[in-house]
Structure 1
């Protein structure tokens, strides 16, 4: 199983998650930063976002070539990406991906000769797909908006939507993404040393603190995980 599919699938998922957080067109850099933060937190191995982008770019070039692959050398990076995609191990991802690919119907219209007539199965599949898509969107989506220090469910508002302040409802963000005040008694890391606080540095140098990684709810910039340096510099000088 090729590493190229692992990194491509991870970037695809990162893009979808960033869209749910309100970023309309997540860049490769934003997706790479999200993956870098996740793997660093889960596997305690930092790889800069540029390296993830390089892997991804190389993987896209080789995606259609069966004999070509990329090589991700760090085992923890491979395991972390598999974890991000919801698998315990890379082998589990590989088996699931292979099964999924084998189960796909070819994306083309083909002919089936039956009782002297040609049946265009591709057209039938297309029509069924359109019907299912239409059914999926019969129910209006739920929305949420940022309210000072947390997200709340909100009714659709065209003005807020156009300003990028209205986002698709995400229960995890509703429950766990908060803006908080910190001090020297705040628990910044868990028992394994992983960050529990992320921050955004404003133009005036002031820091804003949040309880989950992701994008700043107002300006849309990627939050950074707290470090001992930032704590000593800004919280407990």
Structure 2
């Protein structure tokens, strides 16, 4: 049932917001729909949102991600128009029943699943044979002829030919390069707005703390940046004991 909910949730984002790929959908969920801050236990990162997509929609068995808690399940169900996950579940778990000639009652869902399981290996095998060459050609064309790759230039990312050295495939990270900048921060820098972070941070390859204006990855280490917190501000930014973290 969780798989069905996650699938419908991401499909609804694609339908309403015209977000065509999983990274854009995951980013929209985290940055636009999410109602809790990064310090809340129910906060979900773009990485976790993407992993939920990989596990439940793409059915990748090797993906390691915790099952969504009640808060997240209720949140997704409410986005789809239900009061909570329990209401969604109770409606979805009512299978349509049919009566066979011998009087036995079976559900259409069970009957359909049994047919799929029976031919599962044949379907998967045929799909791989058809899709592999198509995907190979598409990937080769896409890599060589589009500008999905980016390269770091001192304080910002720029679009780049994917064949060049040190480029990054932005179709995976989905970084908004128009607004992503490395900046210097002071005690006058606005770090939060309505409780949500405006600055992200990460350490460079020489362990120096650096700050950026958008979610994304550190251009040197390629590690995902973290949203700023009061603790980080007090420890690395503020130098005067009387200074206080501004959260508005």
Q: TM-score, normalised by structure 1?
A: 0.51
1:108 aligns with 2:103: no
Taking the aligned partners of 2:129 and 2:206, their CA distance within structure 1 comes to 55
Query: Which of 79, 88, 102 is matched with 2:79 structurally?
Result: 88
Residue aligned with 2:177, SS:
helix
Residue of structure 2 equivalent to 1:185 = 188
Q: Which runs of 5+ in 1 are unaligned?
A: 11-15, 21-33, 64-69, 111-121
Query: Which of 22, 32, 36 is matched with 1:43 structurally?
Result: 36
Q: Which runs of 5+ in 2 are unaligned?
A: 11-21, 60-65, 94-108, 240-248
Between Structure 1 and Structure 2, whose CA radius of gyration is higher? Answer: 2
| 2:36–2:43 Cα contact (<8 Å) kept | no
Q: 1:107 to 1:193 in 2, by over 3 A?
A: same
**Matches of residues 207-218 of structure 1 in structure 2 within 5 Å?**
207-218=209-220
| 1:153–1:169 Cα contact (<8 Å) kept | no
Q: CA deviation at 1:195?
A: 0.5
Residue of structure 1 equivalent to 2:15 = none
Q: CA deviation at 1:153?
A: 1.1
Residue aligned with 1:153, SS:
strand
Greater relative contact order: 1 or 2 (C-alpha under 8 angstroms, separation 6 or more)? 1
Residue aligned with 1:140, SS:
helix
Q: CA RMSD in A?
A: 5.0
| 1:200–1:223 Cα contact (<8 Å) kept | yes
Work out the number of aligned pairs and report it: 173
| 2:36–2:42 Cα contact (<8 Å) kept | no
Residue aligned with 1:233, SS:
helix
Taking the aligned partners of 2:132 and 2:235, their CA distance within structure 1 comes to 56
Q: TM-score, normalised by structure 2?
A: 0.49
Q: CA deviation at 1:131?
A: 5.8
Q: 1:219 to 1:71 in 2, by over 3 A?
A: closer
Q: Can you list the C-alpha shifts for 1:88-120, whole angstroms capped at 9, x where unaligned?
A: 34859979x99xx989x764337xxxxxxxxxx
Taking the aligned partners of 1:137 and 1:130, their CA distance within structure 2 comes to 10
**Matches of residues 133-144 of structure 1 in structure 2 within 5 Å?**
133-134=135-136, 136-137=138-139, 139-141=141-143, 142=147, 143-144=149-150
Q: 1:204 to 1:134 in 2, by over 3 A?
A: closer
Residue aligned with 2:142, SS:
coil
| 2:200–2:211 Cα contact (<8 Å) kept | yes
Q: 1:48 to 1:148 in 2, by over 3 A?
A: same
